[in-house]
Chain A
Amino acid sequence: MPDIIKFLKNKSMELYKETLLLHKRAPSTRIASALSTIDLFSVLAYGGFFDITNKKDRFIISKAHGCFSLYPILAEKGIISKNDLEQIGREGALLGTIPDCNVPGIINNGGALANGLGIACGMALAMKLKGKPDNICVFQGDGECNEGSVWEAVIFAAFHKLDNLLLIIDDNKMSMLGRQKEILGLDPLSEKFRVFGWNSYDVDGHNVNELYPMLEKIVQERLNKPKVLVASTVKGKRISSLENNCLCHIISMSSEEIDNALAEIGDSL
């Protein structure tokens, strides 16, 4: 196994652990939604080809409720403090259960869903006008694709050939009350984007061996089309009581459950 893959897999496991600890401190965090993001965030944050902290590139979180798993990354990179992680959700703390732009390293407010892509379109236009090569990446949930504002932005990005824009869809196939295929149905999602004039890619969102080369390639890709990576993920990944549970979005894990999960992860580290 190449060193980088091994390194990224370790980072993933650490991030699972840190995210569970955050959930233990703040039980109202949406843990199932966050667990589908972990491997994607690890590769993006530590792969060395993208600046997730918004100093150079732009990282827009559109499914913000599931993105509190970014907090440990920001802490490790020294943008927020370890003590901030300890205080999550408490009175007077910096970190709420849904990341907002008041947190250093977070630049938008994605709690309302389905606005990240449009904002990113404006940024991508600005970067092109300035002749800057920076990459714009949006992290979005599949459920958000129910919203019309997403498709307004999809049309816009293709028409204006925003090839510095990458949309990552955390396709965990569930929204708050059940499976997407039983609510509105989005399949075939990547094909829909292709028809709208995007370059579409599919990947297993938990397979670091696939994710790393794929993301490294398409972040830099410039082919006159915006890019979408439909990452197939599992909501509640690694937690048996959450995986495949239609109501996992609104479930908080018990302390005992978290401790057991942490012990399992500890064994694998």
Chain B
Amino acid sequence: MKYMRDSFLESVYQQMSYNGKIFVLSADVGAPALDKIRKDYPSRFINTGIAEQNTINVATGLAMEGYQVYVYGIAAFFLRAADQIRNSLLLYHQYSPLNINILSTGKGISYETAGPTHHCLEDLPVFSAFPGFEIYVPSDATMARAMAAQLIQNGVRYFCCDGKKVALIYNDDFCFDLSDGYITRNSGEKSCIVTMGGMLSFAEEILKVMRSKGIEIGLIDLFTPTEFDKDKLLSILNNYSKVITLEEGYREEGVLSVQIQKLITGTCIKLHKFGFDRKYIFEPGPREMHYKNAGITINNIVNVL
């Protein structure tokens, strides 16, 4: 189990030793790896305070002057800076490419007991509507590190990390090819689960249950839910009669359900969506409780499969 954000920032820290163009901003959110950056590269790290709008504007100004900027903060509060992400950052980026990487923590209901102000089921649907904003959802700490190490060219990216430690799915020596936007975890017979982020480890459990019943199901880790290779993924999904989207987002409006629905329109594939009801959740409790309340249980999914 490891925090995605730590692996990501460890890679950024390593890169800072040989890349003097890297600048890191934090909107007053901490992480152990960030402490190392703060200590060893004090001139290229700033805690911008509880001020997400200004943090994005400052990042834009730094990037316009040639810096490769990393911005770290809490997912729910980057929505507060949606105007700055769109008007300051992305509009400019369309004319003169920038290198800005927004690292968010607290995806979905990671902050399970903190209530709806800290839950974030809307960032991906909102940000996926912004032209030029690349969205990445690492499914474990190994993938988060690979993303930080590989995605260093110009681009404006949103890395959406779970707020909790997540089980390691990929081994350290796993060779990530991020170009297709997805990884096929397993091939199956009739049904296939498409998921992303921390939900992948939950889907792996379902895979085991089905295997114990003698049934192989497909499993796709769609870590880039908007900019994936649509032709390639459709050719894979066409091998199945049933596709299940499984996400810590709204059941109908979640970025996975919308993208996969769009992708398979016109095919004979039946789509089942697992996600949250479109309402705010005030009841505190562990993640499992929230999943159960939303009908996201192994039994329910196995029954559909």
User: Any chain B CB within 8 A of the CB of A122?
Assistant: yes
- Interface size of B in residues (CB-CB distance below 8 Å): 28
Would A123 and B88 count as touching, CB distance under 8 A?
Answer: no
Residues of A in contact (CB 8 Å), total 29
B83 within 8 A of partner (CB) = yes
Is residue A219 within 8 Å, beta carbon to beta carbon, of the partner chain? no
Bound-state CA distance A269–B177 (Å) is 67
Determine if A148 and B92 form an interchain contact, defined as CB atoms under 8 angstroms apart.
no
Contact A122 B84 (CB under 8 A): no
Q: Which residues of A contact B88 (CB under 8 A)?
A: 108-109, 112, 115, 118-119
How far is the CB of B54 from the nearest CB of chain A, in Å? 4
Of B64-72, B198-206, B219-227, B281-289, which binds chain A?
Answer: B64-72
Instruction: Flag B55-74 by CB within 8 Å of A: 1 or 0 each.
Output: 01111111111110000000
CB-based nearest A residue for B96: A101
- B299: interface (CB < 8 Å): no
**Complex interface residues of chain B between 123 and 173 (CB less than 8 A to chain A):** none
Question: Which of B8-16, B43-51, B228-236, B244-252 binds A?
Answer: B43-51
Chain A residues with CB under 8 A of B91: 100-101, 109
A260 to B176, CA, bound (A): 69
Q: How far is the CA of A47 from the CA of B126 in the complex (A)?
A: 45
Nearest CB on A from B232, distance (A)? 34
Q: Does B53 contact A (CB under 8 A)?
A: yes
Residues of A contacting B83 in the complex (Cβ-Cβ under 8 angstroms): 112, 115
Within the complex, which residue of B43, B48, B92 is in contact with A156, where a contact is CB–CB below 8 Å? B48
Shortest Cβ gap from B70 to chain A (Å): 13
| B87 at the A interface (CB under 8 A) | yes
A124 sits at the interface (CB 8 A)? yes
- A40 in contact (CB, < 8 A): no
Closest to B59 in A: A122
Task: Out of B67, B87, B95, name the residue touching A115 (CB < 8 Å).
Answer: B87
Interface membership of A10, Cβ < 8 A: no
B108 to chain A, nearest CB (A): 27
Q: Are B87 and A121 in contact (CB under 8 A)?
A: no
The residue in B43, B51, B63 that gathers the most chain A C-beta atoms within 10 A of its C-beta is B51
Q: 0/1 per residue, B81-124, Cβ < 8 Å to A?
A: 00110011001100110000000000000000000000000000
Are B61 and A121 interface neighbours, CB within 8 A?
yes
**Residues A107-159 near B (CB distance < 8 A):** 107-109, 111-112, 115, 117-127, 129-130, 148-149, 152-153, 155-156
Q: Is the CB of A102 within 8 A of B95?
A: yes
A103: nearest residue on chain B (CB-CB)?
B95
Residue numbers of B with Cβ under 8 A of A are 43-44, 46, 48-49, 51, 53-54, 56-67, 83-84, 87-88, 91-92, 95-96
Residues of chain A whose beta carbon lies under 8 Å from any beta carbon of chain B = 100-102, 107-109, 111-112, 115, 117-127, 129-130, 148-149, 152-153, 155-156, 160
Name 24 interchain pairs, CB-CB below 8 A, sorted by A. A101-B92, A107-B64, A109-B87, A109-B92, A112-B83, A115-B53, A115-B57, A119-B58, A119-B61, A119-B64, A120-B61, A121-B58, A122-B59, A122-B63, A123-B65, A125-B62, A126-B66, A127-B65, A152-B54, A153-B54, A153-B57, A153-B58, A156-B58, A160-B46
